Structure 1
Amino acid sequence: MTIRLFSDAPLQAHTTLSLPPAAARHAQVRRVQPGDVLVLFDGLGCDWPAEVLAMGRSEVRVQVGAPQPVQRELPHPVLLAVGMPANDRMDTLVEKATELGAAAIQPLLCERAVLRLDGERALKKVAHWQGVAVAASEQCGRARVPHIAPVLTLTAWLAGLARPDSAAPVGQRLLLSPQPGAAPLHGVPPGPLCVLSGPEGGLAPAEEAAALAAGFHATGLGPRVLRADTAPLALLAWVGLRG
């Protein structure tokens, strides 16, 4: 199986380069040798074949070939805004959401969230989750890596969506809700989606009301109550299968 490696620097055809540190370590662990062919990608939508020229203790030099456009994205972009589940469940959510095609992930601090992050700890967690997304993209064949946004409170995020200068995602806004009155998923028309999903215990009533006031539509995923780290993945799988 060909090794795919992410480059955090833009790639250029017919050039030689030293792999970024993380990619170089990966290549060394996989015991690649001069003459082996890798696939590089920089998150801009192409795979780049590259031949290994030299392996050093800390440097791996490659010759980059011509780009090959890759289309492995969902038919329409999906932003997931998720109340962060605790322990390693957020790691798993980021990994699987990347595999299933999420375009971006917004970690949210909600009233009922078990995981509480701020300051330096939040910055480190976001960097870690971005690394999880990179590794998942390498494995699943995506040539684009989901952006993991800085941690925000749900209140701050909703307020940002309402600002005139907001770079708010275009598309329908869905609130994943277990409430009996939530609309069925099959009624959602094709197109870009901004999906809000709560933490363990769900969103508090005031939070649900604020999301609905911000233009989100309560949408159900069926008769079973899904975990905080399962519901967003079920939505992504549905989008991908609907295709």
Structure 2
Amino acid sequence: MRIPRIYHPESITVGSQIALSDDAANHVGRVLRMTTGQQVQLFDGSNQVFDADIIQADKKSVRVSVQRATLDDRESPLHIHLGQVMSRGEKMEFTIQKSIELGVSLITPLFSERCGVKLDAERLNKKIQQWQKIAIAACEQCGRNQVPVIRPAMDLEAWCAEQDDGLKLNLHPRASQSINTLPLPVERVRLLIGPEGGLSADEIAMTARYQFTDILLGPRVLRTETTALTAITALQVRFGDLG
């Protein structure tokens, strides 16, 4: 069996014995039915991986003994901050999962005029927590050892107004530039992806006031979740570590 990769939310030291988080213990003890003496690999966001032996396991709790640490930096040299106007249902979860696999560094869910998601504060907070768990699971699966943060949801203009010394990009179907025509080098990108109905004319004008550059991905109209992943892939190929 492949050795499971497990995220631990606290700093790990070699030689220590630690109890896995409730979610991790449930996965290891109840889902995988692992037992004493088997191995797991832990990571804590420090760009290290830790080999550990299970020393106690049942359906409610798992304790491990940390044996060794290895530096394992898999982060892209390109820092991408994704501002994604929230989409309905599983589309947002899909976008978060796949963008993290592709190397996005930070994600901010956004509200816009045509955003189809209407949530009260309590439900929105639960969504953010759920999306953070999806981010953790994506890192466990794809081999990343730093977990991107899912920030609290923001209004579109407030996000656009934040200070950022990186390249600011907005996808626009009538833009004259493409990712391939952007000048090198680029180390930081703030990438805005609009809702399923697109940004309004006023919102597009607003992004221009905050020095966002309009770019075109191609001749076809893409769904919001396809747009995000296509743009991230193109950016990673040109400026990051894909291809």
- Give the letter aligned to residue 34 of structure 1: T
Residue number among 34, 58, 61 corresponding to 1:59 in the alignment: 61
- Give the letter aligned to residue 234 of structure 2: W
- Contact 1:105 1:148 (8 Å CA) reproduced: yes
Gaps of 5+ in 2: none
**Distance in 1 between residues matched to 2:151 and 2:92, nearest whole Å:** 14
Residue number among 214, 234, 237 corresponding to 2:233 in the alignment: 237
**Distance in 1 between residues matched to 2:164 and 2:236, nearest whole Å:** 19
> C-alpha displacement at 1:113, in angstroms?
1.1
**Distance in 2 between residues matched to 1:82 and 1:178, nearest whole Å:** 17
**Distance in 2 between residues matched to 1:176 and 1:66, nearest whole Å:** 45
Q: Does 1:170 align with 2:165?
A: yes
> C-alpha displacement at 1:171, in angstroms?
1.1
Identity %: 34
Matches within 5 A, 1:1-243: 1-28=2-29, 29-159=31-161, 161=162, 168-179=163-174, 181-188=175-182, 189=184, 190-242=186-238, 243=241
Q: What corresponds to 1:165 in structure 2?
A: none
Gaps of 5+ in 1: 162-167
- Contact 1:79 1:194 (8 Å CA) reproduced: yes
Greater CA deviation, 54-63 or 222-231?
54-63
**Distance in 2 between residues matched to 1:130 and 1:175, nearest whole Å:** 24
- Contact 1:83 1:107 (8 Å CA) reproduced: yes
CA displacement 1:69-95 (0-9 Å, x = unmatched): 112222211000011111210010011
- Give the letter aligned to residue 6 of structure 1: Y
Please give the root-mean-square deviation of Cα atoms over the aligned residues, in Å.
1.3
> C-alpha displacement at 1:66, in angstroms?
2.6
**Distance in 2 between residues matched to 1:228 and 1:182, nearest whole Å:** 20
- Number of residue-to-residue matches in the alignment: 235
TM-score, normalised to structure 1, is 0.92
> C-alpha displacement at 1:235, in angstroms?
1.5
